[in-house]
Amino acid sequence: GAGVSQSPSNKVTEKGKDVELRCDPISGHTALYWYRQSLGQGLEFLIYFQGNSAPDKSGLPSDRFSAERTGGSVSTLTIQRTQQEDSAVYLCASSLARGIQGTQYFGPGTRLLVL
């Protein structure tokens, strides 16, 4: 595809439910990143993938959050037992290479609202 795509665009869920957010990176990009954009918290890093491996999960806010990447392409961010404080925009980015060799290109994000 031409750019990073994310689905769904918007998600409303009830507290306690599980949600899955999907990211399709730019074809050929080996590095993939998840960020969270919350009111009052700005943009925070969640997790990074190089291929299918996630060498750094330190940004995940709790063990209710998990992510996987398959085939070196699509990634899914799963939030279990959602809480109201999980409400945010979840942004995915990909780059051709890790670190500064690769500019990060962002998707349009998934806006999650937990009622």
Partner 1 sequence: AQTVTQSQPEMSVQEAETVTLSCTYDTSENNYYLFWYKQPPSRQMILVIRQEAYKQQNATENRFSVNFQKAAKSFSLKISDSQLGDTAMYFCAFMADLSNDYKLSFGAGTTVTVRA
Residues that bind partner 1 (CB under 8 A): 31, 33, 35, 42-45, 48, 56, 59, 89, 91, 93, 98-100, 103-109, 111
Q: Are 81 and 90 in contact (CB under 8 A)?
A: no
Least distance in angstroms from the C-beta of 61 to partner 1: 15
Q: Which residue, 52 or 80, has its beta carbon nearer to partner 1?
A: 52
Q: Which residue, 50 or 80, has its beta carbon nearer to partner 1?
A: 50
What is the pairing mode between strands 10-13 and 110-114?
A: parallel
Distances (CA, A) of 25 to 74, 75, 84, 85: 7, 8, 28, 27
How many Cα atoms within 13 Å fall on the side-chain side of residue 90?
32
Least distance in angstroms from the C-beta of 16 to partner 1: 26
Q: Which residue, 67 or 93, has its beta carbon nearer to partner 1?
A: 93
Least distance in angstroms from the C-beta of 42 to partner 1: 5
Neighbours of 66 (CB within 10 A): 14
